[in-house]
Each structure stands twice: as C-alpha cells, then as structure tokens.
Amino acid sequence: MIIGSVSENKELEKRVSITPEIAKKYINLGFEIQLSKNYGKHLGFEEKEYSEFGVKFVSEDKKLIENVDIVIQMGLLDENKTSLLKPNQTFIGVLNPYKNKNKLDELVKKKVNLFSLELLPRITRAQSMDILSSQANLAGYKAVVESFSIYEKAIPMMMTAAGTIPAAKVLVVGAGVAGLQAIATAKRMGAIVFATDVRIASKEQVESLGGKFLLVEDSENLETKGGYAKEASEEFKKKQEELLSETLKKIDIVICTALIPGKKAPRLISEDMLDRMRPGAVVVDLAVAQGGNCADTLPGETIDRKGVKLIGASELPCSVPNHASALYARNLVALLEPVFKEGQLSLNIEDELISGCLISQDGVIRHNEVLNVGGSN
C-alpha cells in the first residue's frame, strides 16, 4: 500500500505531513512512500534524508496522486489537485467539514474515503493522535510571544533604582489546550495572568499554572461529554459579558482561544468593550478563522483600533512549521499504525476512534451530522 503527500502551497502552508523520522516508521510498518520533488526542503529536510529509507520522489503531482492509495495532507488540496483523487483512495487531513461541505460532498460522490483528523474524539486512546492539541499547544505559545513582541511595555515586574515597573496583566479567554499553554507561557515570562472559561472544570487547571480564574456568577458547567465547550444560555452570556467588560478595563494583553466544535466562534469581546481598553493594549484572536471571539479582527491582519492592536492570528502553528510538522506527522502515524494489517487498512467502524473521524467510506457518509451541517465553499 502506497502513501503519498504532495507539496503544499508554501505561501499559505509551510508545514508538511511526513517528516524523515515518520517516513522511516511508515516504511518499517510496510507502507511505500511517494513524495513531491523538494518535499520539505524549505524546512531543511533534504531528499537524501528521505530516500535513505526508501522514499521515492515524483516530479509531477498528477502522477503522484494517481499512483498512491492514501493521500496525507495538512488540509484539502486546491481544486485542480483535488479533482485528481479517484474512487477507493483514502484522503486524510484536517478537512474542516463544517466549512468545506460542498467540496467534501463531491469527493463522497467519487467514493473517496475521507478522514478529518480534527474530529477525533477526546478519549485516552486518542491522545497520541490528537492533532488539535498538538497544534493548539504551539498556537497558544506563539500567541503570547507575538503579543509580547507588539506590546510596547515590559512584561515582568522590574524593581530598579529609578522605581518599579509593574508586571503586564494578561487575560486568556478560553482555557482549552491553547489557552492553558498561553497561561503557562505568559506566567513564565513574568506576567500576571487571569483566565476565564465556560467549563468549571478548567478552574483547577488554570490555578495549577499560576493563573487566576475569573468565575462567572452562578456559573453552569458548559462542557460536553467529549470535554469541549458547548454553547451558553443567554443569561450566562449576559453575566459573562458584564464580567469581561469590567475586567478588560485593567488588562494589557488578551489572548482569545474560545471555540465550539462545529459552530461559529462565540463573540465575547464587543466593540464597546474594546473602546474601554487602555491604549497600547493588545488582543490576539486565535478564533478569527471561525468568526472570531473579538470584534473587528480579520484573519492574518494586525489592526490598530483606537490605540488597541488587534491581531487576527489564524495560522500560528505555521509560524513554527518545523515543530508543527513533526507533531502532526507523529499524530498521523499513531492513527494509521494500529489499523494497518496485512498490507491493508483494516477499519472497524464500531471503534469510536475510527467512527469519530471517518467522514465517508466507499461513497457512504459515516458522519451524517457533519455533512448535514455547515456552509459552502
């Protein structure tokens, strides 16, 4: 069975799905590997690092896609390359089905087997395969680094002969994987850190990292069985708005990470709240690609809004592509290793790992709630 991966558009996506380390693992498992010419070269991976394990390089992406049984990518390919996929091929990546419903419907009709990795369930067995967590860790770290580089004051408290400089105050909105990493990074760099989340269970995690948890009055635990946040009631939203509105007046840096799987990101910071923030404050919105937690943020753009800098951080893991690629590639091989038996993929759709991320198989939709939801593209 042959696994293939074509080079991504490096202006949009610098990560790769197969590193030399993981290519060796695939080949040891019994797979053959085919890659585009110069695959990974921009990350310092030379062809000889791959070819010494038996990886083959193909000069034309069209020929590569036609040759292979499994295509592994970061996300969907462009339309020209996607059209080359054929029946019974397996395509694996972060497919964002809620956004790309129409494109995926076409692939289902072609009987391409589709795995969308971000749909993996949050269970113990899935931890080594969890691409959302691995990439979110990097995003949380980079969000803090980016914000600190733009914030025009010192971060830690400094006591000098000329007087004391107070520590910067950071608010992290959403205490999932990205949020917790943001809290830890900001604390390590000397900031005073506050955090809020709709899941009461996250309070202990925030406090274990040295953050102060801001609890909404009469909080309800808005957590799904899978450990994700779920949508709040209107009453809760109003109380949360009041809490944030008062808190933001004294905050220097805000890191927004709040997401609800399959839905538009909740709008938590309004224009009115931004108007009350101090000039020089910085807001990093990691949820901007899903609609944004903060008003006026735009994907990939930094905006100066009345002295408050708004950063629409849509692809922060791409800014650390070497480590992001290494983690993503390890997540993928952890998923494929247990299901590759006797030279074939052996998929047990009763296994919640498989049923969680298998969108379609042989033209049959296995994830009805995914392809029946969402917009077009």
- Cα–Cα distance, 355 to 173 (Å, whole number): 31
Residue of 50, 130, 240, 314 marked catalytic? 130
Q: Which residues of 279-302 are buried (b: 16+ CB within 10 A; e: fewer)?
A: eebbbbbbbbbbebbbbbbeeeee
267 is catalytic: no
Q: Which ranges of 44-100 does DSSP label H, i.e. alpha helix?
A: 47-51, 61-67, 79-82
228 is catalytic: yes
Residue of 7, 133, 134, 314 marked catalytic? 133
Residues 6+ apart with CB under 8 A from 297: 283, 285, 288, 303, 310, 311, 312
Residue at token pair 């310092």? 44
130 is catalytic: yes
What's the farthest any 2 CA atoms get from each other in the chain? 73
366 is catalytic: no
Q: Which residue, among 115, 187, 107, 146, has the nearest Cα to 353 in the 3D structure?
A: 115
Residue of 61, 69, 83, 122 marked catalytic? 122
Please report, to the nearest 10 degrees, the dihedral formed by the alpha carbons of residues 290, 291, 297, 299 taken in order: 40
User: Three-class SS of residue 108?
Assistant: helix
127 is catalytic: yes
E-only strand ranges, the chain = 2-5, 32-36, 56-58, 70-72, 90-93, 113-116, 158-160, 163-165, 169-173, 192-196, 212-213, 253-256, 282-285, 302-305, 308-312, 340-341, 344-345, 358-361, 364-365
Six-digit token string for 82: 């996607």
Residue of 61, 69, 228, 355 marked catalytic? 228
Residue of 125, 127, 188, 278 marked catalytic? 127
- Cα–Cα distance, 154 to 341 (Å, whole number): 56
- Cα–Cα distance, 232 to 197 (Å, whole number): 11
Catalytic residue numbers?
A: 122, 127, 130, 133, 228
